[in-house]
Chains A and B, each alone.
Chain A
């Protein structure tokens, strides 16, 4: 789905470094999310935002921060990366409509390796 893009697609960094993962969408959705995926653990929610002024912690927000620069942009930062943050990171957007149906549209993912 080219409407949700993530940069970079792959990133290798060292312990202690600060890195930022970026997400952009052209779907016009207000809701945006960051997840991490680890083998056997599924998709876990890090942060979510329902509009530019709204930021909420998810299940595993420790060690992460986010910024919603505009309706279309939602960035995830690791202030001081550690090896157990090695994972596949997905950004997603959603439209909450039709009396409660919420389809989430995922970006292509960013594969992060922390050495």
Chain B
């Protein structure tokens, strides 16, 4: 999307290591930041999201952090497993505020 940048585009980690994916956004008024996971041949599905009134949210092995000042948010996956291998997309509200703009995706590979 026009106002969301995502890095890295590919990431390879060994099983058990941590993985971090970062996104930046341009609209300081943005207030909602979801992350979607797309397994090979499947549809994207929401895995976690964060509102701008909190700095961190955790759900088991995944967490998302938000830095509103720097306008970036990150996905953290700990103790990675082979089934975490997928493409991950971040998103932020579009400049119109009525839709989501997605980052270009990060292809995560977890090797045993």
Report if A and B associate in a common complex.
Answer: yes
Contact among A33, A35, A40, A106 for B45, CB-based, below 8 A: A106
Q: Which residues of chain B come closer than 8 Å to A58, judged between CB atoms?
A: 99
Name the distance in Å between B26's Cβ and chain A's nearest Cβ.
Answer: 14
* Chain A residue total in the interface (Cβ 8 A): 25
Asked if residues A45 and B89 are in contact (CB atoms below 8 Å), the reply is no
Binary interface profile of A, 65-100, with partner B (CB < 8 Å = 1, else 0)? Answer: 000000000000000000000000010000000011
Asked if residues A50 and B98 are in contact (CB atoms below 8 Å), the reply is yes
Contact among A45, A103, A104, A109 for B101, CB-based, below 8 A: A45
Asked if residues A40 and B104 are in contact (CB atoms below 8 Å), the reply is yes
Name the distance in Å between B21's Cβ and chain A's nearest Cβ.
Answer: 13
Within 8 A of A (CB), among B67-103: 89, 94, 98-103
A40-B9, A42-B1, A42-B89 known; A102 and B100 CB under 8 Å?
Answer: yes
> Which residue from chain B places its CB closest to the CB of A56 in the assembled complex?
B98
A100-B32, A100-B51 known; A43 and B44 CB under 8 Å?
Answer: yes
Asked if residues A45 and B31 are in contact (CB atoms below 8 Å), the reply is no
Q: Which residues of chain A come closer than 8 Å to B100, judged between CB atoms?
A: 45, 102, 104
Asked if residues A107 and B43 are in contact (CB atoms below 8 Å), the reply is yes
| Other contacts beyond A90-B43, A102-B34, A104-B46: 7, CB < 8 A | A1-B45, A42-B1, A43-B105, A44-B1, A44-B102, A101-B32, A101-B49
Residues of A at under 8 Å CB distance from B?
Answer: 1, 33, 35, 40-45, 48, 50, 56, 58-59, 90, 99-104, 106-109
Residues of B at under 8 Å CB distance from A?
Answer: 1-2, 6, 9, 31-32, 34, 36, 43-46, 49, 51, 89, 94, 98-105
